[in-house]
Structure 1
Amino acid sequence: MMKRYAMTILAYMTTFGLTFTACGSKESGPDAPIDPTPPVSKDVTVKVMSYNLWASRPGNLQPQNMIEMAEVIKRADPDLVALQEVDKLTKRNPIDVTKELAERTGMKYYFFAKAMDHNGGEYGEAILSKLPFKETKAYSLGFLPEYPNSEPRAIAMVTVEKEGKEFHFVGTHLDHLEINGNRDKQAKDIVDIFKTFTKPVILGGDLNSLPDSEAIRILRGHFTLGCLNNNCAFTFPATNPNRTIDYLMYAPSSAISVQSYQAYTWAGSASDHLPVLATFTLK
């Protein structure tokens, strides 16, 4: 009787041991099958804006105007905004405009790139972002000595990541004078800077140049216009606009595509420029 009982227990233990070993081998053993399917890299959507603040007019500085500009940005709800004509602690705008707009829009990450000293403070470009910065960098864009009435310009660049896709977002503002070679020089400088970058780049700004101008032709040697079918909406003046001088563009075209692109005519009278808004897909 005892012998038969022991044999029964041994049979149960043997069966259990074989079952346990089989389960362990299936989950983590050296002979476990390997899934050959690589992880899928999904497309990521990013919404960006370019907005010239007209040095925060009217009123330099009317609190209501800052409220209106912030409302324009909040209504558009972009991930990142490139701002031009930005004052920092000047006599006409005795606040840090970038910080003020960041607080009013709830876009907690911001970066200012000084182009020049001006009016007791600083003047340049800025970026607002919902995405944390992995890197920030400012570049200077000078001007040709034969045009002494020109103003120095700057490039504000941030590196961000959204849903695993890392890219650079860039804001700039080309020379404002009507007839000179500065815009062409600055366009060449921009291409020279970014043609060596390996990550995708989205560039926004007031380029003071028409779509058929030499400066835009130079930029298109590296960047692709965000305008769908090259039909770039009028952005200036804000009231009854009749020309395009504000843009969003990108590089390389193999890494980015355009979902939507428009000038926002509802922006009101806060600035003399209409903001440009685009939604891009990072492939």
Structure 2
Amino acid sequence: MKQLFTVFLLLISVHSFANLGEGVSENRPTKKAKTLTVMTYNIHHCNPPSAGTKIDVEAIARVIRKEKPDLVALQEVDVNTERSGKGLNQARELARLTGMHFFFSKAIDHQGGDYGVAVLSRFPILDSTRFSLPVDPEIKGEPRTFAGVTVEISKGKKIIFGCTHLDLKEPNRVSQSELIVKHFENSDLPVILGGDFNALSDSRVIQYLDQHFVRSCQTCAPTIPVEKPNRAIDFILYKPGETFKTLSTNVIDEQYASDHLPVVVKLQVK
């Protein structure tokens, strides 16, 4: 009888320990969600406005390195132009100086070279795309372009990251934003878009884009001019909204390297 009682106590102890173990397992902290740091920066062809005609690629690279972004959208990028130095591909050089991958999309011929937008990526670029944005022939305007890359930010998790620079004239900006929305409306992959939109938050263009993308900020800090900035025209947007969560949006107070302030956004990947 005594032996049976001992066995009974032992079984109770084992069962209690097993239940305790299950409870610990259920309450273990889950792995932290992945975050992305994304930057958009109009680099003024690496020409500091206060430095005359000087081209200072290192100054732009220094700003980027300090923020340690995973993805960067660059506008006003020179490749082999006379003003920036024949043989200087600014997109490639910035990639080298920051240790990132790059993709450049030409918008126009300029001074014997190319001028457009580019993206930098900490992740290898799996695929890339570029397309021209429309310009109304009656009102004219500078040709604009879109650069997009597909990257794998974690195992099995791919996204599209794009960059653009919309025209100065609103009718062109409207049609350009409509084309961008149409291009990605049926995308199977999440999309992050950075750029200089040449449009304020309450403009027709941004209000339209807000219907299809989530802007990282609604009350956005100004990005131009670099001294006493008074308006925001540089933004980062994403879709679908349930894929990302904005953790922070910061405008970096860097007044030397360009005529725009860079925007840095931290996103949580849900």
Q: TM-score range by the shorter chain?
A: 0.7 to 0.9
Alpha-carbon distance in 1 for matches of 2:184, 2:152: 18
Secondary structure, in 3 states, of the residue corresponding to 1:181? helix
Alpha-carbon distance in 1 for matches of 2:152, 2:247: 19
Secondary structure, in 3 states, of the residue corresponding to 1:216? helix
| Alignment match, 1:255 | 243
| Alignment match, 2:82 | 91
Alpha-carbon distance in 2 for matches of 1:169, 1:246: 16
Change (3 A) 1:233 1:147: same
Give yes or no for the alignment of 1:104 onto 2:91: no
Residues 73-120 of structure 1 deviation map (CA, whole Å, 9 limit, x = unaligned): 00010001000000110111121000111111121x110011111121
Alpha-carbon distance in 2 for matches of 1:137, 1:281: 25
Instruction: Kindly state the Cα deviation for residue 176 of structure 1 after the two structures are TM-superposed.
Output: 2.2
1:128-139 matches, within 5 Å, as 128-139=120-131
Instruction: Kindly state the Cα deviation for residue 126 of structure 1 after the two structures are TM-superposed.
Output: 0.2
Alpha-carbon distance in 1 for matches of 2:229, 2:163: 22
Indicate which of 129, 133, 147 corresponds to 1:141: 133
Alpha-carbon distance in 2 for matches of 1:119, 1:220: 36
Alpha-carbon distance in 2 for matches of 1:131, 1:268: 29
Instruction: Kindly state the Cα deviation for residue 268 of structure 1 after the two structures are TM-superposed.
Output: 2.6
| Alignment match, 1:277 | 264
CA contact (8 A) 1:50 1:205 kept: yes
| Alignment match, 2:26 | none
Instruction: Kindly state the Cα deviation for residue 62 of structure 1 after the two structures are TM-superposed.
Output: 2.9
Instruction: Kindly state the Cα deviation for residue 55 of structure 1 after the two structures are TM-superposed.
Output: 2.0
Alpha-carbon distance in 1 for matches of 2:92, 2:129: 17
Sequence identity percentage: 43
| Alignment match, 1:246 | 234
- Alpha-carbon RMSD across the aligned residues, in angstroms, is 1.6
Instruction: Kindly state the Cα deviation for residue 257 of structure 1 after the two structures are TM-superposed.
Output: 0.9
1:181-196 matches, within 5 Å, as 181-196=171-186
Secondary structure, in 3 states, of the residue corresponding to 1:274? coil
Secondary structure, in 3 states, of the residue corresponding to 1:134? strand
Secondary structure, in 3 states, of the residue corresponding to 1:103? helix
Q: Which runs of 5 or more structure 2 residues have no equivalent in the other structure?
A: 1-29
CA contact (8 A) 1:60 1:93 kept: no
TM-score normalised to the size of structure 2? Answer: 0.84
Give yes or no for the alignment of 1:67 onto 2:58: yes
Alpha-carbon distance in 2 for matches of 1:85, 1:170: 15
Alpha-carbon distance in 2 for matches of 1:129, 1:173: 18
TM-score normalised to the size of structure 1? Answer: 0.80
Alpha-carbon distance in 1 for matches of 2:41, 2:191: 18
Q: Which runs of 5 or more structure 1 residues have no equivalent in the other structure?
A: 1-39
Q: Which structure would you say has the larger Rg?
A: 1
Change (3 A) 1:187 1:41: farther
Alpha-carbon distance in 2 for matches of 1:191, 1:163: 26
Instruction: Kindly state the Cα deviation for residue 139 of structure 1 after the two structures are TM-superposed.
Output: 1.2
Q: Which amino acid in the other structure matches residue 97 of structure 1?
A: Q
Indicate which of 65, 70, 76 corresponds to 1:79: 70
